[in-house]
Amino acid sequence: MKPTDISAPDYFHKVVDCQWACPAHTPVPEYIRLIAEGRYSDAYMINWKSNVFPGILGRTCDRPCEPACRRGRVEENPVAICRLKRVAADFKDDIKSRLPRAGARNGKRIAIIGGGPASLTVARDLAPLGYHCTVFDQDPKAGGMMRTQIPKFRLPDSVIDEETDYILGLGIEFKGGHRIDSLKKLLSENYDAIFVGSGAPRGRELDIPGRKEAAANIHIGIDWLSSVSFGHTDKIGRRVIVLGGGNTAMDCCRTARRLGGEDVRVIVRSGFEEMKASPWEKEDAMHEDIPILNFMVPIAFVHNNGKLTGVTFQKVKAEYDAKGKRSLVPSGEADETINCDDVLVAVGQENAFPWIERDCGIEFDKWNMPKVDPKTMGSTHPKVFFGGDAAFGPKNIIWAVAHGHDAALSIHRLISGEDVQERPLPQVHVSSQKMGIHEWSYDNDISDDKRFKVPHRDKVVALKDIRAEVELGYDVKLALGEAQRCLNCDVQTVFSASLCIECDACVDICPMDCITFTQNGDEADLRKRLKAPSQHVDQDLYVSSDLKTGRVMVKDEDVCLHCGLCAERCPTGAWDMQKYLIDMTHAGTSCPSRARSAA
């Protein structure tokens, strides 16, 4: 293999698995260290800069970082990154003075459709640069699905108000209760750019017999949740069936439990394991005595003269073809009818753009989705950009934020007369953490603690009050313990071949057997000759240039604990621990293209 080019910004970024997995590339280990130091406001601001909604995401994020967390490859559970983010939000001081101010007006006007996470991110990135941003939303308050679809017992209004206010306080014009019905009309108002962040507002229907007749007691999940959120709905029948296996279904069933549902069941077509809902959301539902029944396909709503009495299900089983593709086939068991008073249908969400005229310059694909460039978030209309669920269908908040950053950058470049396709490289800082012979500016002692549980409100109390937040969040002591579990993957092992005397000290001390000195070869061959078996080929090998004996140093990045013992036991300083920080390029980042600092 060729020697690894550690000056490429992506190389060390990939080693920070959590940050690499995060769509917004939040510098996770950096803020976790700040939490361990008790610097909650600093930790919050790092999050705020990169993911805009630390308090909201700290409660609701889909956490792509956690399955990626290196700790999960070393022991059973990853670091509770998401809940640590909430700690930063819970314990911070007043940070208002640290927020940017609205920039001097540059005379450019941006229309932003929808007041959800993607839209607010665009507004936040552009307002400090002097843009006049106008956000339109059909609801009276900003927040979009974060406010209407996520139940208050998971995400209190106060948190949404606080974090949307930080953004609206940047001089953004918010037009609540203002629905956009025609893009053509908006285009005619001569905005310099338009951002569409209108979400995926339509709940998928379940068209089976009885749907129309029993409609009074059959509710579309997201509409019902938003009706609950606004206080229009405050009760439900005693026996409730929730159809669907995603996170919306989990929110529906738990909300139903609080509005009078005593016998609430979730029923899914697929197997329990394949459900789309996050494992922790399933756990939370089951903890509230909600059984999840699987391999049952709803085939009819049963009713008595229009009064819903139950749902009939066909029993199925999974079969896999030669390619491993799954299909659900009848199991041969008798159909089962389960009695109920109400049904909540949460079988998916769809986009709907009835308000975008098909002749206004925006092309749609065969699925009736706008054609959007995933790099620039631009549509086929040069001035119209998409983001969040409106761009590629339902995803989650953190993806919406990432889209928002990219779209804001595009809009800024478009209006500045720059090429939208050209994306400035991120800034990278790499600096040694050595303080003394065996002293590092980070805590390199690896904690053996297992993942700490987040305290929950007592179930009886929680189920009585739909606004009582179930999770209480870590206290300072638990947060410190959990923060210590972070392996500091951003403190990189940097190797200088010219200093190495091949004494083997690093090989001998490495607790994870990551380091091998051997003859060079191609990657597949090298992976076979490592000191410990290479289990994840997606994890890079760090290969040095040739050493004195003609061998090379090969480090499998996979399970490195970043404990720095290789550097401590190195007599010549050939190993050093260097902190890698990457600043993703946002709108207004003042760095010329292709210029960056690197190792």
Partner 1 sequence: MTYIAKPKFHHPGLTKNRLGYTHRDYEGKISTLCAGCGHDSITASIIEACYELSIEPHRVAKISGIGCSSKTPDYFLGNSHGFNSVHGRMPSVLTGANLANRDLIYLGVSGDGDSASIGFGQFAHSIRRGVNMTYIVENNGVYGLTKGQFSATADRGSKSKKGVINTDSAVDLVAIALQLGASFVARSFSGDKTQLVPLIAAAIEHKGAAFLDVISPCIAFNNHAGSTKSFDYVREHNDAVNRLDVLTGREPIAVDYAPGTVQVVEQHDGSKIALRKIDADYDAHDRVGALAFLQKHAAKGQIVTGLLYVDPDSEDLHSHLNTVEQPLNRLEADVLCPGSAALDKINASLR
Q: Which residues bind partner 1 (CB under 8 A)?
A: 73-75, 438, 444-446, 448, 501-505, 507-509, 511-514, 532-533, 535, 548-549, 559, 561, 563, 565, 568-572
Nearer to partner 1, 345 or 570 (CB): 570
The sign of the CA dihedral 265, 268, 273, 275 is negative
Nearer to partner 1, 279 or 511 (CB): 511
Q: Rounded to the nearest whole angstrom, what is the least distance from the CB of residue 183 to partner 1 in the complex?
A: 53
Map 136-205 to HEC letters: ECCCCCCCCHHHHCCCCCCCCHHHHHHHHHHHHCCCCEEECCCCCCCHHHHHCCCCCEEEECCCCCEECC
Q: Rounded to the nearest whole angstrom, what is the least distance from the CB of residue 166 to partner 1 in the complex?
A: 40
Strand ranges of the sheet holding 384-386, from the earlier edge strand across to the other edge: 173-175, 132-136, 109-113, 193-196, 384-386
Q: Rounded to the nearest whole angstrom, what is the least distance from the CB of residue 440 to partner 1 in the complex?
A: 10
Q: Rounded to the nearest whole angstrom, what is the least distance from the CB of residue 111 to partner 1 in the complex?
A: 52
Q: Which among 78, 72, 28, 33 is positioned nearest to 558, based on CA atoms?
A: 72
Q: Which among 170, 114, 125 is positioned nearest to 386, based on CA atoms?
A: 114
Helix (H) / strand (E) element for 124: namely helix 117-126
Neighbours of 390 (CB within 10 A): 29
Query: Any residues with CB less than 8 A from the CB of 287 and at least 6 apart, and which?
Result: 456, 459
Q: Rounded to the nearest whole angstrom, what is the least distance from the CB of residue 521 to partner 1 in the complex?
A: 17
Helix (H) / strand (E) element for 429: namely strand 427-432
**From CA 6, how far away is CA 466, in angstroms rounded?**
51
Q: Which among 124, 132, 116 is positioned nearest to 52, based on CA atoms?
A: 124
**From CA 567, how far away is CA 148, in angstroms rounded?**
51
Q: Are 364 and 350 in contact (CB under 8 A)?
A: no
Nearer to partner 1, 446 or 599 (CB): 446
Nearer to partner 1, 358 or 548 (CB): 548
Nearer to partner 1, 72 or 128 (CB): 72
Nearer to partner 1, 215 or 501 (CB): 501
Token representation of residue 292: 């999840």
Q: Which among 413, 430, 431 is positioned nearest to 421, based on CA atoms?
A: 413
Q: Rounded to the nearest whole angstrom, what is the least distance from the CB of residue 30 to partner 1 in the complex?
A: 21
List, in sequence order, every residue forming a beta bridge with 300; answer none if it has no partner. Answer: 312
List, in sequence order, every residue forming a beta bridge with 427; answer none if it has no partner. Answer: 583
> Residue 141 corresponds to which amino acid?
K
Nearer to partner 1, 453 or 548 (CB): 548
Token representation of residue 338: 């389960």
Q: Rounded to the nearest whole angstrom, what is the least distance from the CB of residue 558 to partner 1 in the complex?
A: 8
Nearer to partner 1, 150 or 559 (CB): 559
Q: Is 336 helix (H, G, I), strand (E, B) or coil?
A: strand
Q: Is 332 helix (H, G, I), strand (E, B) or coil?
A: coil
Q: Rounded to the nearest whole angstrom, what is the least distance from the CB of residue 18 to partner 1 in the complex?
A: 18
Nearer to partner 1, 385 or 442 (CB): 442
Nearer to partner 1, 354 or 550 (CB): 550
Query: For residue 211, with 0-12 CB atoms within 10 Å meaning exposed, 13-18 middle and 19 or more buried, which class applies?
Result: middle
Nearer to partner 1, 472 or 501 (CB): 501
Q: Rounded to the nearest whole angstrom, what is the least distance from the CB of residue 559 to partner 1 in the complex?
A: 6
